[in-house]
């Protein structure tokens, strides 16, 4: 067990997202399957590919740790990754061992949830510079005079 893993998981096995948010291991569903692609007999016979499934909409951990408004915002940000059944599915198959793939899938879930947590930064209202305002007004005056000149011309004479 690496230092990173021990820092991430408490003794209860909960997946630590932030100081105030941990996912209950009962909410996570791990499934091991045989991987595809090149690799010969090892990849064909050993179930090292991990599929991690989590239902954010029914997650008790999110409900307990976040306010209802913040929870809804997080769910909206995760909506693009959730399928029609409400499941966020991650697959890890980059390592040869099931344990390392399980850790990789969990780390990916942690980073996805951490990215969805922060509140959006509010937009600061800015004022155009004096020079930009003057340039815009000068251009408007030129455009207006050009149009005024077009209507004054007498083409008959």
Q: What is the total residue count of the chain?
A: 157
Q: Is 143 inside any structural domain?
A: no
Phi, psi torsion values for 93, nearest 5 degrees:
-140, 20
Largest CA distance in the chain: 97
Which residue numbers in the chain have pLDDT < 50?
Answer: 1-11
Q: What's the CA gap between 84 and 46, in Å, rounded?
A: 30
Q: Is 40 inside any structural domain?
A: yes
Q: Is 125 inside any structural domain?
A: no
Q: Which pTM does this prediction carry?
A: 0.68
Question: Which pLDDT belongs to residue 12?
Answer: 60
Domain of residue 79, CATH code: 3.30.160.20
Q: Is 93 inside any structural domain?
A: yes
Q: Is 139 inside any structural domain?
A: no
Q: Is 60 inside any structural domain?
A: yes
**Residue 21 belongs to domain spanning:** 3-116
Q: Is 134 inside any structural domain?
A: no
Give the total number of structural domains in the chain: 1
Question: Which pLDDT belongs to residue 7?
Answer: 41
């Amino acid at each position: 067990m690496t230092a990173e893993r021990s820092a991430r998981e408490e003794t209860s096995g909960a997946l630590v997202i932030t100081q105030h948010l941990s996912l209950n291991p009962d909410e996570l569903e791990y499934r091991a399957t045989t991987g595809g692609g090149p690799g010969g007999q090892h990849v064909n016979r050993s179930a090292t590919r991990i599929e991690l499934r989590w239902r954010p909409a029914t997650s008790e951990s999110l409900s307990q740790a976040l306010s209802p408004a913040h929870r809804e915002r997080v769910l909206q940000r995760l909506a693009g990754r959730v399928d029609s059944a409400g499941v966020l599915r991650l697959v890890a198959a980059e390592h040869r061992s099931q344990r390392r793939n399980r850790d990789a899938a969990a780390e990916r879930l942690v980073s996805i949830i951490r990215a969805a947590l922060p509140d959006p930064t509010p937009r600061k209202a800015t004022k155009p510079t004096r020079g930009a305002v003057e340039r815009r007004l000068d251009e408007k005056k030129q455009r207006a005079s050009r149009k005024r000149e077009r209507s004054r011309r007498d083409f008959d004479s």
